[in-house]
Amino acid sequence: MATMPQAMPDQQGQGAAPPQGAGAPSQGAPDQGAPPQTPPSQAPANPLQMLLARWYQTAKQMASADPRLAAGAEKVSQGIQEMQTALVSPPQPTPVGQQPQY
């Protein structure tokens, strides 16, 4: 059993395991096959984000399958990226000058 020293998780496969920072489980408890935890900055994707990701991949596949579709598929991909950005960006308040008068 003493043939190989046990490596720390951050030494295995450069970048394979996310670095543990503040708020992470204690360093002494090894991972026993638990699902990976999502960092606080990355919330799980909502169904709209997942759908947009599938559309993006479909547009890219169509462009690679038929070069005639490449230009349109690129526009579709850009639109999808705009939609994804809009979903994750906080709503911006409307300036007073642009609010409708009631």
Cα dist. 3→6, 28 in Å?
10, 22
pLDDT tens per residue, range 3-23: 544 544 444 444 444 444 444
> pLDDT per residue over 35-77, tens digit each?
555 555 566 778 999 999 999 999 999 999 999 999 999 999 9
Dihedral sign, CA of 18, 23, 26, 32? negative
Residue 9, pLDDT score: 45
Dihedral sign computed on CA atoms, order 38, 40, 41, 42: positive
pLDDT of 22: 46
The region, left, alpha or beta by phi > 0 then psi within -120 to 50, assigned to residue 15 is left
Scanning 46-88, the segments in alpha helix (DSSP H) are 47-65, 70-88
CA distance 46 to 50: 6
Are 70 and 63 in contact, with CB atoms under 8 Å apart?
Answer: yes
